[in-house]
Amino acid sequence: MFLALGRWCARRPRRILALWAAVTIAVACAVMLQGRVTSEAVVIPGSDSQAARDVADAFPGPASGNQPLVLHTAPDGPALTSAIARKAVEAAAADVARVDHVMSVGTPYGTPGRAAMSADGHTAYLSIGLNVTGRDITPEISEAVMSAAEPARQAGITVTPGGELAAAADKESTTHSELIGLAAAAIVLFLGLRRILAAGLPLAVGVVGLVISLSAIGLVGHVLDMPSAGATIAAMIGLGVGIDYTLFCLTRFRELLAQGHPAVDAAGHTTASAGKAAAFAGCAVAAALAGLALGGLPLLHALALAPAIAVLVAVLAALTLLPALLTLLGHRLSHRPSYARTAATPPETPCPTHPAAKRWRRLATHVTDRPHHYLLASHHRLRSYVAGQRGHSRLEEQPHPAQLHRGPGPSHP
């Protein structure tokens, strides 16, 4: 089956590439039109904390409580109680009240807000009620609130977010770290494969799978609660397995080209060997992630589904997209261009002659000739490690000696 699939895709490379391009554009456009929905709500059925949260939700008022937006003027400047400053603050409060997710805005003027004004009149805060809580207060919401307070800033008032608005504003994007990871992977792949096309192929397949899987995860968020951490985990796992599976298949393809196989046959046999192994490995990873659903927590369901989608997309790319790309690039992925052979050229023997390859072969031979010795040694090391961890846990659970002599009454220093 895998051989037939690989040959079918290898013989129709342009159709396969067009199909993948259409799917990528379709899901990307869909998530751009419908939006990416995430929810940080954590529901733990049957727990005391969930019961307390349900009781709290029964009371009226903003879900987030009141989040402060701190206002401050310089000591030598006009106080917030002056007519000009009050007019600017009230205009800012009116603009903030029109921001999405804002339910109420309390000003430091009048009897209800008197406690929000300092004695000298130079520091105060707006009390902002939101209909979202905790991690659902995103950096975009905090930025919108700060932008709406522009009338106060124009009047010379310093505006600073507080509470969960400040925590949301301090959240940093992981884009830079992902780009650094991709750059590091590109360097490692180039050092290992020695050709730019060969090094870029795993990255290209991994990125295509990542775009499709993240877009699909964003659309799934419309159906069930999907935390933002789900997309982050899916990006890490999906990109890793996508590069891994492509690299396995690429290594096998280069070996088959070196033995004189045509590109189409080499792509088909690659799918039947390395592609088959990648498919079973991906299914095993998805099955392991599905085990999180046994925890009974809706949050774990989403955290299992998101990376499982990314892994399955990576497997599908390795079985269909990769054979098409291997056929199109052909001998340009080989160790050197002179690997393009004629039918009369005898195939090379795959026996490695590099000193490093010989060392690794000797090590592998030594281990496989003595499997029981290495198995028993590994088992002994693992048992020692587990025993040490259990002993450490028991020591942490034991009370401190000073607590054993402490009486039932109040303790004194």
Q: Tell me: do 178 and 165 sit in the same domain.
A: no
Q: Tell me: do 187 and 334 sit in the same domain.
A: yes
pLDDT at site 297? 72
**pLDDT tens digit string along 89-113?**
999 989 988 888 888 888 888 776 6
The boundaries of the domain holding residue 359 are: 354-388
The CATH number for 128's domain is 3.30.70.1320
**Residue 285 in this model has a pLDDT that exceeds 70:** yes
**CB of 235 closer than 8 Å to CB of 210:** yes
From residue 4, give the alpha-carbon distance in Å to each of 124, 158, 264, 323, 325. Answer: 72, 68, 11, 11, 16
Q: Tell me: do 193 and 290 sit in the same domain.
A: yes
Confidence of residue 344 (pLDDT cuts 50, 70, 90): very low
Confidence of residue 317 (pLDDT cuts 50, 70, 90): very high
Tokens describing residue 341? 């052979």
| Cα–Cα distance measured from residue 246 to residue 257, given in angstroms and rounded to the nearest whole number | 16
Q: Tell me: do 328 and 384 sit in the same domain.
A: no
52 found inside a domain? no
From residue 41, give the alpha-carbon distance in Å to each of 50, 68, 137, 296, 298. Answer: 11, 22, 11, 15, 10
Q: Which of 123, 153, 169 is the last residue of a domain?
A: 169
Tokens describing residue 329? 């690039």
Q: Tell me: do 98 and 215 sit in the same domain.
A: no
393 found inside a domain? no
Q: Tell me: do 88 and 231 sit in the same domain.
A: no
pLDDT at site 336? 57
Q: Tell me: do 6 and 119 sit in the same domain.
A: no
Percent of the chain with pLDDT strictly greater than 70: 77
Query: What's the rounded mean pLDDT across residues 119-134?
Result: 83
319 found inside a domain? yes
**Torsion over CA: 257, 260, 261, 264 (sign):** positive
Distance of alpha carbon 52 from the chain centroid: 31
Q: Tell me: do 183 and 287 sit in the same domain.
A: yes
Q: Tell me: do 201 and 227 sit in the same domain.
A: yes
Instruction: Classify 70 as helix, strand or coil.
Output: strand
From residue 166, give the alpha-carbon distance in Å to each of 85, 136, 214. Answer: 23, 13, 28
Beta strands 123-130 and 66-72, pairing class: antiparallel
Number of domains in the chain: 3
| Cα–Cα distance measured from residue 356 to residue 352, given in angstroms and rounded to the nearest whole number | 9
Q: Tell me: do 197 and 335 sit in the same domain.
A: yes
Confidence of residue 350 (pLDDT cuts 50, 70, 90): very low
Q: Which of 169, 185, 212 is the last residue of a domain?
A: 169
Instruction: Give every CB contact of residue 111 below 8 A, 6+ residues apart in sequence.
Output: none
Percent of the chain with pLDDT strictly greater than 90: 15
Tokens describing residue 1? 């089956």
pLDDT at site 345? 45
Q: Tell me: do 119 and 95 sit in the same domain.
A: yes
**pLDDT tens digit string along 24-76?**
999 989 888 877 766 656 666 666 666 666 665 565 555 556 788 889 988 88
Beta strands 158-161 and 102-106, pairing class: unpaired
pLDDT at site 43? 65
Q: Which of 275, 310, 340 is the last residue of a domain?
A: 340
Q: What are phi and psi of 383, to 5 degrees?
A: -65, -40
**pLDDT tens digit string along 156-170?**
889 888 887 887 777
Q: Minimum mean pLDDT among 136-140, 233-237, 252-256, 322-326: which range?
A: 136-140
